[in-house]
Amino acid sequence: MHTGDWPKTAEDALAVQERLRGLVDLVDDLAELPPTVTGLDVAYDGADGIAAAVVTLETTGLTVVEQRTHRARAVFPYEPGLFAFRELPPLLAALERLDREPDVLVCDGHGLAHPRRFGLACHLGVLTGLPAFGVGKTRFVGSHAEPGPSRGSAEPLVDAGEEVGAVLRTQDGVKPVYVSAGHRIALAHACRLTLALAPRYRLPETTRLADRLSRVALR
């Protein structure tokens, strides 16, 4: 889907979500520890300007392999549950600038943990065909018990009786993150990768570096 064909109204966007969500594939064919991981994030300038950033890291050493940015104007209004339609055009443009195709995409947001089970990570995975999952800072849907206080503790995130993600403690005593599968990866695998990407801080290094790069790109 090209930006020129991008939905302009909430009604059109909901129809696209309904059509594409049936393409989500949760068969996990990703290596347990893929060679690289690519984080994605966006920053806003307070108006309609968006800076998208993608950062690819070596999975084992978490060193930067390459990074790209793209600045654009928003082509979709601010609508809860439809953020992907605002953020995907610049994110896809930044991804296209990478020299190496990502092994897996790590989104600052949600995948199945979405009212229609089609958050940013699902949408991005379906459009690119790449494995993708989301690591959200806050809960969007569902309810959960509080995970234990130690790193690696987790509880199911449940919405309408369905397990849509996991509430994962990445560091001892810090607030948990919300992990959900997006495309071509299982939830348990996404949680293991999230822990591998968060050796020192609450958020995975993919998110931290992409967030920093997107803010720099706005300057």
**CB-based contacts of 218, cutoff 8 Å, min separation 6:** 43, 44, 45, 49, 51, 71
Backbone angles phi, psi at 91, to 5 degrees: -65, -45
Pairwise CA distance, residues 1 & 157, whole Å: 31
Whether 103 has a binding-site annotation, put simply, is: no
DSSP symbol at 81: T
Token pair belonging to 123: 């949408």
Helix or strand holding residue 208 (H, E): helix 205-218
Q: What is the DSSP letter of 176?
A: P
Q: How would you classify the pairing of strands 36-44 and 105-107?
A: parallel
Q: Does the annotation list 108 as a binding residue?
A: yes
Alpha-carbon gap, residue 98 to 120, rounded angstroms: 20
What is the token pair recorded at 152? 């690696």
Q: What is the DSSP letter of 9?
A: S
- In angstroms, what CA-CA distances link 143 with 18, 63, 163? 24, 35, 10
Binding region for Mg(2+): 41, 108
Binding region: 41, 108
